Amino acid sequence: MGAKDMTVYLNGGFVSQEAAVVSVYDHGLLYGDGIFEGIRIYSGKIFRLEEHLRRFFDSAKAILLQVPLPPDKLAAALQEGVKRYGKDEGYIRLVATRGPGDLGLDPDKCSAPTLFFIIDTISLYPEKFYREGIPVVTASSRRLPADGLDPRVKTLNYLNNIMAKVEAKQAGCIEAVMLNQRGEVAECTADNIFIVRDGVLATPAPHCGILQGITRQTVLELAIEEGISARETVLTRFDLYTADECFMTGSGAEIVPVARIDGRIIGSGNPGPVTERLHHAFKRLVGGQSLAKVR
């Protein structure tokens, strides 16, 4: 992260890196009581801001969290932040927490919500993985069930995803596939997952316990424009192992090919033609920037 070049907004104004601090009593820190969004900047413009803000405020409503700014004012602050950041490409981490309060779970003991965002660079994967694909493993850590914590709420509670990431790293990989409680494919630790079989694009349906990613939705829309058949469905590990192609999508990762899953080579072991086609369509959409270069 290029800390000296970062731009930070905290509770109503832009602050220096040194002043960008929150209380140790903030319930976002103590209990994971909060929400966030990861948003990309391409060619000086915020990518799909309206969709990100809608999900952000939907998440807030779902957990009864009052965001200190209305959507239009928050959008204006984000646009001002991009202007201050001054670079064509970047990444925004937008966060709202319940705010500082007493020790204990009671949200009513919090004085006021905390709202901040950071604008900086991001680099999730080495450039070679966008050319060659990455190996992934299936994690034993399961995706939280929707009746426990709805995955459509993008909360600060990511410990089960982190434990799956730990499993991946222990297996010599950098990413893991997470299954739901029924053993169906849900998503990866921080990204959605797609496969291609016989030219048809498929991805786990919302009811499988996924976060409905903005980049995921963008890829589904691009598939329609490109004349690629696409469906949201139930997938198992067998479907992953026998796929012709596989890739992950996310705001930070963008589109990353998967070359191997649990030791099984996917297709030829290289990014497939549908993956490449969608990769180029995405590049055109965001302004022709190289996905591996925008870091």
Q: Which residues are known catalytic residues? A: 154
How far is it, in rounded angstroms, from Cα 180 to Cα 204? 11
How far is it, in rounded angstroms, from Cα 99 to Cα 25? 8
**Residue 123, phi-psi category: left (phi > 0), alpha (psi -120 to 50), beta (remainder):** beta
CB 196 within 8 Å of CB 208 = no
Q: What is the DSSP string of the chain?
A: --GGG-EEEETTEEE-TTT----TTBHHHHH--EEEEEEEEETTEETTHHHHHHHHHHHHHHTT---SS-HHHHHHHHHHHHHHH--SSEEEEEEEE--BB-SSS-GGGB-S-EEEEEEE----S-HHHHHH-EEEEE-SSPPPPTTTS-TTS-BS--HHHHHHHHHHHHTT-S-EEEE-TTS-EEEESSSEEEEEETTEEEEE-GGGT----HHHHHHHHHHHHTT--EEEE---HHHHHT-SEEEEEETTTEEEEEEEETTEEPTTSS--HHHHHHHHHHHHHTTS--TTT--
